[in-house]
Copies of this chain bind each other. A is one copy, B any other.
Amino acid sequence: MKEKVSLAVVRRLPRYYRYLGELQRQGVDKISSGGLAEKMGLTASQIRQDLNCFGGFGQQGYGYNVEMLRGEIASILGLPRQYRTVLIGVGNLGRALVSHVGFEKRGFSLIGLFDVREDVIGTSIGAHTVLPMSELEAFCLRERPEAAVLSLPRAAAPEVADRLVALGVKGFWNFSNGEIVEGEIPVENVHLGDSLMTLCYRIQSEENQK
């Protein structure tokens, strides 16, 4: 069943998870697809369709149990998993990711940080000391990371990604703005600039309507 689910649906699951978490914090026990739709800016039928991809979870005339649905979505997302993860490129962006993104809550556990720059190697961020890229192979053969965050310059990304694939890495979170490995390995590309350009369009579009 899961293999048929489109990436567009999958991408909405973390949003459901987030909104359901907010409802839980507000003490809401149950919600109709219509109520959830309104909060999320979707339609009730889209929500029912999305969740039906995974087997439903709602009860006619009752709606969704918030805690249960959130638990189901967590388990669909694979959140009990903790993929061992390395982060390559400890500049401002890499540091921001280490300190701002709750990796553990989202299925990943950071086990090593790497950089090529002498002034960064050996510095600490939280519990981690930055290692030199020359130790990447030895580290990976020993620690077997399953995922990698690429917060390094675009030009360096493809070669580093290929090294990591050869070392068994099975998925990338890619901030390098470049194309990396092709094919079957999941790559989540984050293009922050796309969101900024969308904002530009939206501000302009509001102005034009005045």
Interface residues of A (CB under 8 A from B): 2-3, 7, 10-11, 13-15, 17-18, 76-79, 81, 83, 91-93, 95-97, 99-103, 105-108, 146-147, 170-173, 184-186, 188, 190-209
Report whether over half of chain A's contact residues are helix, strand or loop; otherwise say mixed.
Answer: helix
**Contact sample, A vs B, 5 pairs, CB 8 Å cutoff:** A7-B198, A92-B99, A170-B207, A171-B199, A188-B195
Minimum CB–CB distance from A19 to chain B (whole Å) comes to 10
| Chain B residues within 8 Å of A196, by CB | 101, 103, 106-108, 173, 188
CA distance A199 to B83 in the complex (A): 10
Minimum CB–CB distance from A140 to chain B (whole Å) comes to 16
Interchain CB contact under 8 A, B15 and A79:
no
Chain copies in the assembly? 2
Interchain CB contact under 8 A, A194 and B146:
no
Residue of B nearest to A76 (CB): B201
CA distance A106 to B197 in the complex (A): 5
Interchain CB contact under 8 A, A83 and B200:
yes
